[in-house]
Structure 1
């Protein structure tokens, strides 16, 4: 039961990270033009790896 809750929580977190990345896209484009890179891709990769590890 706990693994179901954990998996559902990770899935929700993964979806939230993707939405955050999409919403932050204009900010990321502006930051990149200024020479700054936002590490949103690392956050998404980390959460995706954790979620994939819970798959049976």
Structure 2
């Protein structure tokens, strides 16, 4: 799975569930928690999610 596909999945999950958790996403996408944190940072810069302690929610 590529970076863009993973980020798209993160946004879709956040919209579907109302929020996402870094630990759960790392397990689901089989990547490091740091990778998910970087993804959330980029998605927040693009105005797609708002980061929280340990996760994010859709904007």
Instruction: Using structure 2 for the length normalisation, give the TM-score.
Output: 0.36
* Structure ID, larger Rg: 1
| Higher RCO (CA-CA < 8 Å; seq separation 6+) | 1
Instruction: Using structure 1 for the length normalisation, give the TM-score.
Output: 0.37
Judging by fraction of residues, say which structure has more helix. Answer: 1
